[in-house]
């Protein structure tokens, strides 16, 4: 075949897609349990939305967006992240007061592809809007942690920091800028370029960490309100039994954050791509987008990285395979009956030999093979442990008892 998927994108099918299915359905379960209904926004948004929300000087906006003109001459962008679109949707909806939404879908960033870093990747996430108190931060932080834990991400770590707000951050940024100017001789070119436009982002530079150990820290410059909020969040998260480490260098790559920021790290993964998720508060974002003041907090998790870190499931995607001794039309009827009764089963619709049907069952590695011998005959239920005859109408109960 001459056509390949675009660089940095993947085709995904069984058996690899099985782990994805499980991790995604687990997400629906956990996000639902914490009271987050589904929110869906377009994959395509106006370019200006991301420029304003994410920030003109961020790498996401300057280097990574898939931006193009549509046929009507509008500049549109494939969403590189989900918060901007969800906040836009909330503001447009006219909803007043606290609001929760969970999402799951593809996102796009033009990055240098490698393991765990794709140009099309999948995020799940939540946004909790019009909430100000630290309990909201703690609830959101806990949800991400519990979900990742139950998905089985090994060596999971939670890092927490505070970035202050419009009250205390400008003062800190000025102090930091001064400090960085004094260190210019030792900083890399990228960092020097950021000193004027966005000095906070310099703290994120991996290469310059040795120069940054003594840099002034936001936590030492928080105003009283931010400091109280940060202390309260930490106390609440601790009270929930969620372990975390304070990381004062955690600034995140998007400009909308205020106060709490956090990241979930899977220490098992390659160090460059070990953030399985991150988030924080963005109390000024709604106003940046022209809306009424609406504080909010949320996170997004990278499903590609989660699947990489939990490893592929070799569990088969089917519970049972139906082998028919009387042809595919009968198998169709029998499978239909079983499926309506809740059994996860497939069969061969092409009328292949019984031997070939058994081969297919082995290839999928199903735990149970059901042999249909004809009308009025019981189903011959075969497992690794042996075989037994079960009347068709009792097969679904047999499966229920088995689990």
User: Residue 379 and residue 277: Cα distance in Å, rounded?
Assistant: 48
Q: Under DSSP, is residue 99 helix (H, G, I), strand (E, B) or coil? A: strand
Cα 178 to Cα 173, 211, 216: the distances in Å are 9, 14, 10
Question: Among 112, 108, 127, 120, which residue's Cα sits nearest to residue 45?
Answer: 108
User: Residue 155 and residue 164: Cα distance in Å, rounded?
Assistant: 29
For position 202 contacting ligand HAM by CB under 6 A, the verdict is: no
For position 123 contacting ligand HAM by CB under 6 A, the verdict is: yes
Nearer to ligand HAM, 125 or 199 (CB): 125
| DSSP designation for 389 | E
Binding string, 304-343, against ligand HAM, x = CB under 6 A? xx--------------------------------------
Residues in region 271-310 near ligand HAM by CB under 6 A: 275-280, 298-300, 302, 304-305
For position 81 contacting ligand HAM by CB under 6 A, the verdict is: yes
Which segment (18-26, 71-79, 115-123, 326-334) binds ligand HAM by CB under 6 A? 115-123
**Are residues 102 and 31 in contact, defined by beta-carbon separation less than 8 angstroms?**
yes
State the minimum distance, in angstroms, from the CB of residue 304 to ligand HAM.
Answer: 5
**Are residues 57 and 201 in contact, defined by beta-carbon separation less than 8 angstroms?**
yes
State the minimum distance, in angstroms, from the CB of residue 273 to ligand HAM.
Answer: 7
User: Residue 118 and residue 130: Cα distance in Å, rounded?
Assistant: 32
Residues in region 127-146 near ligand HAM by CB under 6 A: 127
**Among residues 121, 147, 172, 399, the one that binds ligand HAM under rule CB under 6 A:** 121
**Are residues 135 and 228 in contact, defined by beta-carbon separation less than 8 angstroms?**
no
Nearer to ligand HAM, 105 or 253 (CB): 253
Query: Angle at Cα 101 formed by Cα 98 and Cα 103, nearest 5°?
Result: 165
State the minimum distance, in angstroms, from the CB of residue 298 to ligand HAM.
Answer: 3
State the minimum distance, in angstroms, from the CB of residue 87 to ligand HAM.
Answer: 9
Q: Which residues bind ligand HAM (CB under 6 A)?
A: 81-83, 109, 111, 116-118, 121, 123, 125, 127, 253-254, 275-280, 298-300, 302, 304-305
């Amino acid at each position: 075949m001459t056509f390949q998927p675009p660089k940095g994108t993947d085709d995904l099918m069984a058996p690899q897609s099985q782990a994805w299915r499980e991790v995604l359905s687990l997400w629906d379960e956990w996000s639902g349990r914490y009271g987050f209904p589904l929110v869906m926004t377009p994959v395509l948004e106006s370019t200006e939305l991301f420029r304003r929300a994410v920030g003109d000087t961020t790498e996401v906006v300057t280097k990574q967006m898939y931006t193009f003109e549509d046929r009507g001459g509008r500049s549109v962008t494939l969403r590189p992240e989900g918060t901007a679109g969800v906040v836009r949707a909330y503001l447009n909806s006219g909803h007043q007061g606290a609001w929760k939404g969970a999402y799951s879908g593809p996102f796009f960033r033009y990055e240098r592809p490698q393991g765990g870093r794709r140009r099309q990747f999948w995020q799940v996430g939540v946004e909790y809007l019009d909430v100000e108190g630290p309990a909201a931060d703690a609830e959101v932080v806990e949800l991400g942690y519990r979900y990742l834990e139950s998905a089985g991400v090994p060596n999971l770590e939670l890092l927490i920091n505070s970035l202050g707000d419009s009250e205390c951050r400008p003062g800190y940024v000025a102090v930091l800028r001064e400090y960085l100017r004094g260190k210019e001789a030792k900083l890399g070119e990228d960092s020097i370029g950021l000193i004027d436009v966005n000095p906070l982002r310099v703290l994120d530079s991996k290469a310059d960490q040795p120069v940054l150990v003594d840099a002034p820290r936001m936590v030492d410059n928080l105003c009283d309100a931010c400091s109280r909020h940060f202390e309260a969040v930490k106390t609440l998260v601790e009270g929930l039994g969620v372990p975390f480490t304070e990381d004062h260098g955690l600034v995140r790559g998007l400009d909308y954050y205020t106060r709490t920021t956090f990241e979930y790290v899977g220490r098992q993964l390659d160090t460059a791509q070990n953030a399985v998720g991150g988030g924080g508060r963005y109390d000024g974002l709604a106003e940046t987008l022209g809306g009424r003041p609406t504080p909010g907090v949320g996170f997004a998790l990278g499903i590609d990285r989660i699947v990489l870190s939990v490893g592929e499931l070799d569990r088969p995607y089917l519970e049972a395979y139906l082998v028919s001794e009387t042809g595919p039309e009968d198998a169709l009827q029998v499978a239909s009956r079983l499926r309506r009764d809740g059994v996860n089963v497939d069969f061969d619709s092409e009328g292949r030999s019984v031997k070939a049907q058994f081969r297919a069952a082995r290839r999928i590695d199903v735990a149970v093979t059901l042999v249909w011998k004809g009308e009025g005959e019981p189903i011959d239920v075969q497992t690794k442990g042996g075989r037994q005859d079960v009347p068709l109408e009792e097969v679904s109960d047999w499966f229920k008892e088995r689990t």
